[in-house]
Structure 1
């Protein structure tokens, strides 16, 4: 029993060193995710140190499980690891999750050879006690129970688990849409935590008049610009169906995907009309060409029949048009256009008896 107490003390020492924050960390690899560098059953010896890209580290994401993977990326707020045999990296983790950096490994064959050698040496040296042990019926259950307890403690001490790690320390990727700007084109602003956009796969606009595939660009890590085709904008302005829906499919780093569906409301503005010294000045504030119907009523003398001229002009986005009517002594102008599905008409007296009104 004295020898068993010594053995139990040694195993408990390994247990306490493992779980009481000692710089030394010993564990057995429990999977093949690090093949061929580390194989299942290999023994790792790790120390507390600052991890660098390329280091093999031990990190824990729950009180009962730790992972031994290689560091592939380090950022200010998170670290990314990956198993050498895994096709994709792990989720980003908080740097506080890193427990130790692996410095030494003992191959499983060598470890097994050491353990078997120790076992055979002990059996040979204590062969008389071993014989008495197997011949003793009364002591066998007691010795078996104590041996099982020692074995369980040893397995727990070496298996890659760590109850000292805090729950929730893993950086969970999160994306929030913070703002949408609609001025012809659409700009989507996001708040992003623990991930980034890697590409925009597709952006589709849905309306009662059809489905439109749009070009899109990443302006930075959290802002997406969607180019809306001009003919689509002209159609919804003419028809007055301002409500559309945008569906976005984007790829994120570390094999993530964002699928978003957002209601989009387009709104167009009335062109500004100004009378200035016998001229009519029209400005188009919209991101699309705006058709303007202009009817001019004019006469060269008071009391005679009015003449009529009609024009249909297209104002480019953001452009200004000036119509000089000073050549007519008497003139009225009627201007009509469609905005947001509404027909808007204005009539102005511009000149009277050769002078601007």
Structure 2
């Protein structure tokens, strides 16, 4: 066997090994030819890609990798997400990602690519220089000559690839408008009665609400009313009694379970709603006592104690008379209780006592009488 034949045989073995390595995964390096437009324009049909085994080089998000479902079905796509045990890839020219695959299927990472217009002519020149006896024209023309057949085959492949892939215009890229909906914020109205859910929507709109339920520990499930605002917000009316029950438990949150109908599907949301209670306030403006209840439930057993003091001077005598008025009231949710303190006394001490949570709150003030009298 001639040396040239040995070199030719070794060349064919290495060439076959490099292209079958993609499917077997046994070799540290491999080569493959791109056959479609899924990675256009990064990789074009006919490009030669060189890859290194992931067991040596590894891979991460953004790398172009090669994986095979079978010996006849191998994919060259870019990694867009790496999870626990799975990988999501996508062709640069494809409108949507591929289904997740086991990470064990990814065997090679692409490290270089050579355009068809470069590697195929180069291969033609090398093969011609090594194997074609250009100095012996008669031998090339001999029937069934292996070198001549190889030369003709390479030329034919080059012409076909050039005609099919290089000259061909890439297909129109399909762009899928992916519908997206995401909760941007929620707000609780000042009177606590309405919770507004505001969404960010793309390529879809909210058509209606199928169900609305308020839930919380120890509360069970309570249906709630709702309405749609501008196609991207849902207003929910919180059922009466919810806040008082949660306040008694020392809880300042509940959950909204919403099922909304979309023009492109269904939204199921389970949202924790946090809020902050405002404490009742007590003040005296002029001679009017004002107790404000900002809570969404009644403030019960509010005790108002007024001690009126009258001072009289008769000669050297200082006479002090005092009387006490005691009132217990219930102030409705989001309401004010007012009481006029304009009476003919010298001054008065006013105390307001109520329970907020588990603590007793006491407010005390002194107010002058409307018609203060003194010794003449």
Class of the TM-score when normalised by the shorter of the 2 chains: 0.3 to 0.5
TM-score, normalised to structure 1's length?
Answer: 0.48
TM-score, normalised to structure 2's length?
Answer: 0.46
Structure index of larger Rg: 2
Structure possessing the higher relative contact order (Cα contacts under 8 Å, 6 or more residues apart)? 1
